[in-house]
Amino acid sequence: MAIVAYVPAAMKKALALLILAAVAAHAEVGEPAQNFTLKSAAGKDVSLSDYKGKVVVLEWTNSGCPFVNKHYGSGNMQKLQKDAAAKGVVWLSICSSAPGKQGNLAADEAAKLCASNGSAATAYLLDADGKVGRLYGSKRTPEMYVINKDGTLVYHGAIDDKKTPDPADIPGAKNFVAAALDEVLAGKPVSTPQTEAYGCSVKYGE
State whether residue 181 is helix, strand or coil.
Answer: helix
Q: 170-174: long-range contacts (C-beta < 8 A, 24 or more apart)?
A: 170/70, 170/71, 170/74, 170/76
> How much of the chain exceeds pLDDT 90, in percent?
86
CA distance 73 to 138: 22
Q: What is the mean pLDDT of residues 105-111?
A: 97
Confidence category of residue 19, pLDDT binned at 50, 70, 90: very low
Output the pLDDT for position 16: 47
CA distance 55 to 184: 8
For residue 6, pLDDT beyond 90: no
Average pLDDT, whole number, for the chain? 91
For residue 170, pLDDT beyond 60: yes
State whether residue 98 is helix, strand or coil.
Answer: coil
Confidence category of residue 26, pLDDT binned at 50, 70, 90: confident
- Confidence (pTM): 0.88
- Contact call for residues 38 and 46 (beta carbons, < 8 A): yes
For residue 121, pLDDT beyond 70: yes
Classify the phi-psi angles of 55: left when phi > 0, otherwise alpha if psi is within -120 to 50, otherwise beta.
beta
Which neighbouring-strand residues pair with 52? none
Output the pLDDT for position 206: 80
Name 193's Cβ contacts closer than 8 Å, sequence gap at least 6: 29, 30, 154, 155, 156, 180
For residue 54, pLDDT beyond 90: yes
CA distance 112 to 107: 9
- Contact call for residues 90 and 55 (beta carbons, < 8 A): yes
CA distance 35 to 49: 6
Name 138's Cβ contacts closer than 8 Å, sequence gap at least 6: 60, 94, 96, 197, 202
Output the pLDDT for position 22: 43
CATH architecture of 27-201: 3-Layer(aba) Sandwich (3.40)
Domains of the chain: which residue ranges? 27-201
